[in-house]
């Protein structure tokens, strides 16, 4: 089964840059699009990155996504951190049968 692995938590100071990784267990992570979702407590997730590196309208350009085929991983980078960025972040993709797959989520603390 295809799995996505994320760090459980990351923390950084306001104004700094943080990168959250998402590593695929098998196959090529580049075979399907990777998405990133932000989830605040008590709310449904919202897309911050889709199609590996595209930002929905309304998402600031401080958010960026990338794929590294050599490490079979995707990354979400948030620059100029703000306290409002504190949330859980999930990577998501699909396996070879088009079944959805979520990473375990990363809790971002901005302190």
Partner 1 sequence: QVTLKESGPVLVKPTETLTLTCTVSGFSLSNARMGVSWIRQPPGKALEWLAHIFSNDEKSYSTSLKSRLTISKDTSKSQVVLTMTNMDPVDTATYYCARIRRDSSGYYLVDFDYWGQGTLVTVSS
The distance of closest approach from Cβ of residue 75 to partner 1 in the complex, given in angstroms and rounded to an integer, is 17
DSSP 26: S
Which residues neighbour 51 within 8 Å (Cβ) at sequence distance 6 or greater? 33, 35
In angstroms, the Cα distances linking 23 to 54, 72, 82, 91 are 19, 6, 25, 9
Q: List the one residue from 98, 108, 110, 111 that touches partner 1 (CB under 8 A).
A: 98
User: Contact between 30 and partner 1 (CB under 8 A)?
Assistant: no
User: Contact between 57 and partner 1 (CB under 8 A)?
Assistant: no
DSSP 54: B
Tell me which residues in 65-94 interact with partner 1 (CB under 8 A): 90, 92, 94
The distance of closest approach from Cβ of residue 70 to partner 1 in the complex, given in angstroms and rounded to an integer, is 22
CB nearer to partner 1: give 23 or 32.
Answer: 32
The distance of closest approach from Cβ of residue 66 to partner 1 in the complex, given in angstroms and rounded to an integer, is 16
CB crowding 61-86: b at 16 or more within 10 Å, else e: eebbbebeeeebbbbbebeebeeebb
In the complex, the residues that contact partner 1 under the rule CB under 8 A are 1, 32-33, 35, 37, 39, 44-47, 50-51, 56, 90, 92, 94, 97-105
């Amino acid at each position: 089964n295809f799995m996505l692995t994320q760090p459980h938590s990351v923390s950084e100071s306001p104004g700094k840059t943080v990168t959250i990784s998402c590593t695929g267990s098998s196959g090529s992570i580049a075979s399907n699009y990777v998405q990133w979702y932000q989830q605040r407590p008590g709310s449904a997730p919202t897309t911050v990155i889709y199609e590996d590196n595209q930002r929905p309208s309304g998402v600031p350009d401080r958010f960026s996504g990338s794929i590294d085929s050599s490490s079979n991983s995707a990354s979400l980078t948030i620059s100029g951190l703000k306290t409002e960025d504190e949330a859980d972040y999930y990577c998501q993709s699909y396996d070879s049968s088009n079944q959805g797959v979520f990473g375990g989520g990363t809790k971002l603390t901005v302190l």
